[in-house]
Structure 1
Amino acid sequence: MKYPIISEERRIQRLQPKKGKLRMVLDTDTFNEIDDQFAVVYALQSSERLQVEAFYAAPFHNDLSTGPHDGMRKSYEELHKILKLMNRTEVPVYLGSDRYLPGPEIPVESEGARNLIERALSSSPEDPLYVVAIGAITNVASAILMNPDIIENIVVVWLGGHALHWPDTREFNLEQDIHAARVMLDSGVPLVLVPCHGAASNLKTTLAEIEAYVKDAGVIGAYLHETFRNCHSDHFAYSRVIWDLAAIAYLVDDEHTPSVLVASPILSDAARWSQDGTRHLIRYVRHVERDPIFRDLFRKLI
């Protein structure tokens, strides 16, 4: 696959945090876990900074789905449910991939991938579309493989893998579709990588905190409280990571997600990182500050 060549100078420029309002789309396996719901709400409640243009349902396969197609459909339905609860049904939701990439550089067409291409082509390097992904990266990788020119007009912010120093990167979003993950790492698309363990893992909260600051925040607050309460049978001395907030938080205020430029890592078949300093640069979030992110979310729910 031949991808457009983006000079390192231009890539670094695109990876600099941008001031003002940002156009974004959110690719999410919303039914997979409770953190996606929080991220969807956080993005929509951050209208001072983010213009959410569309949602794409991402595939997933675990105990909550019979396969990636079923997981994607359930995520699609969950997105509609959240938007209805928030009276935000004007934001479109698109079906995503019904399976993972069947092989290297083989896309899976979907209405979500096609819509992403359309939005990206109507953007520009000066006003890029921010593509935030908090699930398996199949939809985004498929769009890039279907039309590689879009990498010139987008910045991908992906919650995927673990920290580069972690013993392995066997993380749910990444490991489900290693072919798609490699497209992100190898294509040269401007990429902000938000690791799970070692970074987003700081975003823990408790039922007591959710009851104090979320439960009474209208219909959507009650729904987030219900999903959190039902996620575990015993909340005594129990905390839960709301991983996906990290990707939204990077765009809302990058000071709370300190990052550096590093060479794009190489991903092995065994889901391990290796480094080659000659590869193109990506932005890598090395830390996530828990308190200001939850404080911002809670204030926006009041």
Structure 2
Amino acid sequence: MKFPPIPEEQRIQRLQPKSGKLRMVLDTDTFNEIDDQFAVVYALQSPERLQVEAFYAAPFFNDLSTGPKDGMEKSYYELHKIVKLMNRTEIPIYKGSESYLSGPEAPVESEAARNLVERAMQSSPEDPLYVVAIAAITNVASAILMEPRIIENIVVVWLGGHGLHWMDTREFNLEQDIHAARVVLDSGVPLVLIPCHDAASNLKTTLTEIEAYVKGSGAIGHYLYETFRDCHPDHFAYSRVIWDISTIAYLVDERNTPSVLISSPVLSDDARWSIDHSRHLIRYVQHIKRDPVFRDLFLKLRTE
């Protein structure tokens, strides 16, 4: 597959922090865990910075689903539940891929992928669409394969894999669809990569904190509290990582997510990173400042 060449200077410029409001879509396996719900709410509660144009339901397969299609459909209905609780039903929600990529050039057609192509083609390098992905990146990779020109008009922000120094990158979002991950890493699309360990892994909270600062924030606050409460049988000395808010935190205030430009890493079949310095540059988040991120989220929930 040939992708449109993007001059490195232009790619770097698009990966620089941008002022003003950002147009974004959110690709999420919302039923898979409890952190996606927090990310959806955080995005919607940040209108000063983010204009959420659409949600895409992503596939997932674990003990909460019978397969990628079932995971995607459960995520689709979970998204509807959240926007209804927040009275934000005007934002469209699209069903995503029913399976993972079967090969490096084999997109999976879906409502989500087609909508992403349409929105991206109506965007521009000067006013790019931010594609925030907090799941297996099947929908995004499929859209790129369906219409490679969209890489000229988007910036992908993906929570995927572990830190480059980690022993391997066997992480749920990445390992589910290695073909899709490679498409995004190899295509030259401007990419912000947020590793789970050990960047997003800083975003731990507890039931006590959620009860104090989230529970009383309207219907959605109570729902987030119940979701957190029910995720574990014993909350004594227990904390949980809310991984997915890392992507929203990056867009809201990049000062809380220090990052560098690096060569796009090479992904092996057994989910390991290697570096080839001749490859194009991406932005790589090295650390996330836990306290200011949760402070911003909790304050924004007060207004709900």
- TM-score relative to the length of structure 2: 0.99
Q: Output the amino acid matched with 1:78.
A: E
The Cα of 1:244 is off from its aligned counterpart by 0.2
Distance 2:40 2:172 in 1: 19
The Cα of 1:105 is off from its aligned counterpart by 1.4
1:223 alignment counterpart: 223
Q: Gaps (5+ residues) in structure 2? A: none
User: SS of 1:299's equivalent?
Assistant: helix
Check if 1:133 corresponds to 2:121: no
Distance 1:84 1:236 in 2: 32
1:90 alignment counterpart: 90
CA deviation digits over 1:233-261, x for unaligned, max 9? 00000000000000010000000000000
2:273 alignment counterpart: 273
CA deviation digits over 1:20-52, x for unaligned, max 9? 000000000000000000000000000000000
1:206 alignment counterpart: 206
Q: Output the amino acid matched with 2:272.
A: R
Check if 1:110 corresponds to 2:110: yes
1:165 alignment counterpart: 165
2:186 alignment counterpart: 186
1:51 alignment counterpart: 51
Q: Output the amino acid matched with 1:144.
A: I
1:41 alignment counterpart: 41
Check if 1:7 corresponds to 2:7: yes
2:233 alignment counterpart: 233
Q: Output the amino acid matched with 2:213.
A: Y
Matched-pair identity in %: 81
Q: How is 1:233-272 mapped onto 2 (pairs within 5 angstroms)? A: 233-272=233-272
Q: Output the amino acid matched with 1:264.
A: S
1:75 alignment counterpart: 75
The Cα of 1:274 is off from its aligned counterpart by 0.3
Distance 1:49 1:8 in 2: 27
Distance 2:4 2:77 in 1: 35
CA deviation digits over 1:56-94, x for unaligned, max 9? 000000000000000000000000000000000000000
2:295 alignment counterpart: 295
Distance 2:234 2:49 in 1: 37
1:119 alignment counterpart: 119
The 4+ residue runs of structure 1 with deviation greater than 6 A are none
Distance 2:294 2:136 in 1: 24
Distance 1:278 1:111 in 2: 36
Corresponding pairs, count? 302
